[in-house]
Structure 1
Amino acid sequence: MNNQLYDIENLRFPIGEFLKPNAITQDHLDKWISAIESFPQKIDELTKNLSIKELNWIYRPDGWKIKQVVHHCADSHINSFVRFKLALTEENPIIKPYEEDRWAELIDGVSDDVTASLQIIRGVHARWVLLLKSLGEKELKRLFIHPATNKTLSLEEVIGIYAWHCNHHLAHIEQALLYKGQF
């Protein structure tokens, strides 16, 4: 693929960007929670037999390696789980953003061993899904403020964002495997 033309935006967003529905329904929430619930198994299946060489394949030019995507998902989903708990226990908390690109370059973000990150994903998702399935209409409307974007987000919207995030990064891994990291 080195000499071929490719659309960098399609490589960045292989499933497109998240689009919030005008009205979030129970059907949306059920599908989104299901995507979050199934993510640990899907990422395990995609990565369980990969060699170190394959874990180092990138999904687009200047993109992360598969191993960095796995480590990022552990980091990101820990942060999201904490943000949900903050929103459920505080009034409109201002959450703490983090520099995900810089985290991806730390030693635990570039490690060839993704075992611990997959364990984190399994554990965080088990607790997160338990929490998500318990939320009523009132809790789903709770808010937090993201200071990096200056946006106020409802928990129901963030469920959709993270369902998208799961599928987005699964598609990145599938893309790296499809092209064998040849960008």
Structure 2
Amino acid sequence: MSDERYPIGKFTPVTALSNAERHACIEQIAAAPANFRCAVAGLNDAQLDTPYRSSGWTVRQVAHHLPDSHMNAYIRFKWGLTEDSPAIKTYEEKDWAKTPETGAPIAMSLDLLAALHQRWVTLLRGMRPADFARTIKHPEWGTPSLDTLLALYAWHGRHHTAHVTTLRQRMGWGD
């Protein structure tokens, strides 16, 4: 049986991407909101409140987590582009997944994710190849390049979409 925590496998860090790999990651980030919206389409409240795995987040929490995480990612890119290896702050994502708005309907977070990704992808497509070598200082990850972050967040969107699609398959909830 595959690991329900990592349905597409764990993220494998990269230091630098080729132009083709970078383009593929940007396209994955561009597609992530629509792919996630499709994954949750038609789910009722009981299904949205189902954990994707034992002791895991509910689908609703995942839907609210994605824009939280990707807003942080977008800001990290902006800092990385405008400051010399800035020290960034982490956040307690498990605690963020318990704040009051995470029980709300997911439409607001799906819309936020879509708007955020439009802006983020515009930024990414405007960056020069050398910009992706710029770094940030992360208290847990060391000094990753923006290429590393690009690959991470491309994976992250696919990772959480797969949480929902594999749950749907296991539960027989249809496509």
TM-score relative to the length of structure 1? 0.89
Confirm whether residue 32 of structure 1 aligns to residue 25 of structure 2. yes
Could you say which residue in structure 1 is the equivalent of 2:152?
161
User: In the TM superposition, what is the alpha-carbon distance from 1:179 to its structure 2 partner?
Assistant: 2.2
User: In the TM superposition, what is the alpha-carbon distance from 1:150 to its structure 2 partner?
Assistant: 4.8
Confirm whether residue 69 of structure 1 aligns to residue 62 of structure 2. yes
C-alpha distance in 1 between matches for 2:65 and 2:15: 29
Query: How many residues in Structure 1 have an aligned counterpart in Structure 2?
Result: 172
Could you say which residue in structure 2 is the equivalent of 1:110?
103
C-alpha distance in 2 between matches for 1:134 and 1:150: 26
Could you say which residue in structure 1 is the equivalent of 2:126?
134
Runs of 4+ aligned structure 1 residues displaced above 6 Å come to none
Letter in 2 for 1:159: L
Could you say which residue in structure 2 is the equivalent of 1:124?
116
Could you say which residue in structure 2 is the equivalent of 1:3?
none
Structure with the bigger percentage of strand:
1
Contact 1:68 1:109 survives alignment (8 Å): yes
C-alpha distance in 1 between matches for 2:83 and 2:15: 26
Letter in 2 for 1:95: I
**1:58-97 alignment runs, 5 A limit:** 58-97=51-90
TM-score relative to the length of structure 2? 0.93
User: In the TM superposition, what is the alpha-carbon distance from 1:48 to its structure 2 partner?
Assistant: 2.6
Contact 2:30 2:118 survives alignment (8 Å): yes
RMSD: 1.5
> 1:102-127: CA deviations, max 9, x gaps?
0001111232x001111110111000
Structure 1, unaligned runs of 5 or more: 1-5
Seen in structure 2, the aligned counterparts of structure 1 residues 109 and 45 have a Cα distance that, compared at 3 Å, is: same
Contact 1:104 1:110 survives alignment (8 Å): no
Letter in 1 for 2:108: A
1:144 to 119, 126, 136: 136
Letter in 1 for 2:154: A
